[in-house]
Amino acid sequence: ARNEGLRAARGELVLFCDADDVVEPGWIAALASALETHDLVGGPLAFSALNPVWPERVTSRSIDDALPLSADHLPFAHTGNLGVRRAAAHALGGFDESMVTSEDQDFSWRAIRAGLAIGFVPDAVVQVRLQRSLSQLWRQRVLWGVGSVDLYMRHSQHMPPPRSVPGVAREILRLAGLIPFALVSRSTRLHFVESVAFFVGRARGSLKNRKLYL
């Protein structure tokens, strides 16, 4: 869908957000102004306005004050709050449509590798809607796990190394140890679902890419 938007765009600047999120006032102007001096920019994601179902997830999150970083401190812009010069996006070949998730990290890192200027815009805030049920959260985190393996196959130098066999065993034991607490604690249950789903996604991504990355 984002590549379709890029192909359809006629202006010099292209701004992206997700359909179920809400941009705060001044979002367009802030990103457009930043793109006068940058090729690719991102803004903070906020969670306070759209998530009454999971108050514990909202209170545990603070608004971003910089672009998120990879394991080796390489920044990237979320596609849920991203602006890019159209010429730069086309020069990069757009987003990688073979990736199920993490295409924003791939896009940003390819931009950095190409020498493009990437920046953070603190006034361009997007209110994000979190997944509203455990089943939705599970599906999302599984896809994130698959996407992390896709990303590793393309940018292994910027990703954590694969776990060793003992490391995988320790992670399985850690997850198993959460089960009793997940039965009685809502916040632990959320963490358990997120962690197990991501691990399952990593396993699926490893099979897909024929590369063990757990």
All residues at 6 or more sequence positions from 117 whose CB lies less than 8 Å from its CB, including other chains: 37, 38, 39, 40
Percent of the residues in the chain that have a pLDDT greater than 90, as a whole number: 83
Instruction: Give the closest residue to 148 by CA, choosing from 198, 197, 191.
Output: 198
The rounded distance, in Å, linking the Cα atoms of 58 and 111 is: 31
The rounded distance, in Å, linking the Cα atoms of 212 and 214 is: 6
User: What are all long-range contacts of 150-155, with beta carbons under 8 Å and residues at least 24 apart?
Assistant: 150/98, 150/99, 150/100, 150/101, 150/102, 150/106, 150/205, 150/208, 150/209, 151/99, 151/102, 151/105, 151/106, 152/211, 152/213, 153/209, 153/211, 154/96, 154/106, 155/105, 155/106, 155/109
- Between 61 and 80, name the one with better pLDDT: 80
Would you state the pLDDT for residue 58? 60
| pLDDT tens for each residue of 6-31 | 999 999 999 999 999 999 999 999 99
- Name the one residue in this structure whose structure tokens are 């805030």: 125
What's the rounded mean pLDDT across residues 156-177? Answer: 95
Q: Which helix (H) or strand (E) holds 126?
A: strand 126-127
What's the rounded mean pLDDT across residues 26-50? Answer: 96
| pLDDT tens for each residue of 79-127 | 999 999 999 999 999 999 999 899 999 999 999 999 999 999 999 999 9
| 183 C-beta neighbours (distance < 10 Å), count | 10
What's the rounded mean pLDDT across residues 31-53? Answer: 93
- Name the one residue in this structure whose structure tokens are 């920046």: 119
Contact 118/112 with Cβ under 8 angstroms? yes
Percent of the residues in the chain that have a pLDDT greater than 70, as a whole number: 94
Contact 81/124 with Cβ under 8 angstroms? yes
- Name the one residue in this structure whose structure tokens are 């959260």: 137
117 token code pair: 């200027």
Please tell me the CATH code under which domain 2-127 is placed.
3.90.550.10
Domain ranges of the chain: 2-127, 134-209
